[in-house]
Structure 1
Amino acid sequence: MTPKVVRQIAELREEIAAYRRAHAASAQVGLVPTMGYLHEGHASLIRRSAEENGLTVLSIFVNPIQFGPNEDFDRYPRDEERDLKVAAEAGANLVFLPSVTEMYPDKPRTTVSVSGVTERLCGASRPGHFDGVATVVSKLFHIVQPDRAYFGLKDAQQVSVIARMTEDLNFPVDIVPCPIVREQDGLALSSRNVYLNPEERRQALILSQTLSQVAGWIEDGMSEAELTVRIRGRIRSQPLADIEYVEVATYPELGHPPADRPLRESREPLLVALAVRFGKTRLIDNVLLFPSEVK
């Protein structure tokens, strides 16, 4: 099935309203917000939405207000033809492809800021990033009015931010976190992987290889400090790796776990997250451990 491409907000609202009128009480709308250059991780979100909703709206928008002045907005990979093929194969019904001027006719003077879950991890090194994310997702929620919205846990902090915003602002949307999708060799799928040269990509495997050992290290009784030292040491075994952060946080509040006892005694889920540059490419990855796994 070829999805319908919509570029104007008014037309998108009309399409969704027509679907809801036609299906009345059974109408269910799913939203998959993306910045395009779709890969299997995005496709898994679209398929999940198609399974759970009668109408799946895929948005593709490289959002300028979530990029810092020295980040990769201009060179962020874009391929509309390829994206539409992935969308069709995965089961999207509508693809929303607005221009920047459609989403922001003027410089936005109203933004959404979520405190408490944005100060650590990526929020510490990308000031304003999550304000941009929360603002554009808030706009999409207002435009689409979905019943469910789907986000990948590769950016677990983003999921936490969106969930907090949704609860605080009483959006009638169920936030559906979806598992990280990886290449066969373990590298987490990302649109930015295309930037990596062959040697950078080979060395980037240290991220997933290290995270795969975290549960065992926690079960061995490591503290937060011991675990971050161990992870940093493993990653630094690759000479091209430039670590931005390695952090352990309770999830979804992103607080600090108690420093005076082993992590295996945590009563809350634990997120072990990292951001590492290989050359000019910034990669993030994480592992989320639940109490049943942290002994």
Structure 2
Amino acid sequence: MPAIHFTLAQIEAFACVCETNNLSLAATKLQKSRTTISELIDSLEINLGYILFDRTKRPLQLTAEGKKLYTQARLFLHEANIFDQLAMQMPKEIKHTITLCYDCFIPLSFIKKLIAYCEQQRIKLNLLNIERPQAEKRLLTGEADIGIYPAANRMINADFKWSAIGTIELGIYANKCFFSNLQTNISILELASSNQFIPFIQLPDQLGKIIKISDNIQQITNIELLKELLDNKKGWSLLPTHLFTESYKNISRFHTELGNKGMMLSIVCIWKPTANKQLQQIIQQIINHIDL
């Protein structure tokens, strides 16, 4: 990179003298001594190799070279001021980026609380709605930092740490006219013989044994589309109750012959051990303070 023949202080002094036509006035405006301003101008002229002011005249007058340089100096100072504002603003901007993975079983209310917390801490939060097997791969490679998922009820990868953060309730949902006998609790046999929608492509084996009841499984990963299919009497699904906090068309919740209580599913936070204090802080916030 070629040598730079001026300093910001020299350009600032030069522009101020141009605008006041007086070394003393420029010194007062810049809160420097007259001697300092004079030395800055002298050193700038020496560095550039030409004279900027005609000192034989009062008030000071710019030389032809000085007039050309003044316009560029004023533009330079404007850009320097913008740079200064940007540099000073940096600590107030986003300090870090965290990538969190989750799936459709995680309540939206929980995600919103986490977003609000990260905004308060000036942390940029990337949210990836992906299934757990994909998330674990990303956690291992460092492409993701945290996973929030239903417990897999199996030995977790030794590279991960985990902590339970709460439970969600699952219920049987279908169109209110889907099942043949609407007067009694639905039998497991009827569930097993009817088309069941599941919103996953891959499920850990133990979780799959809990979620999959029917012999006829249809995978629909888009929740809104799945709800439409339920409403159109195309099947039933075992879904979190938080997805139906508000009624949706003709979809109803059904009880089974096993009882009226829904199935409870533990939710866990998983992550790779880290020395990142901000990440540790978010993990502790998730575990201890943000309710599902």
Give the TM bin, normalised by the shorter chain: under 0.3
TM-score (norm 1): 0.28
TM-score (norm 2): 0.28
Looking at both structures, which has the greater relative contact order when contacts are Cα pairs under 8 Å and sequence separation is at least 6? 2
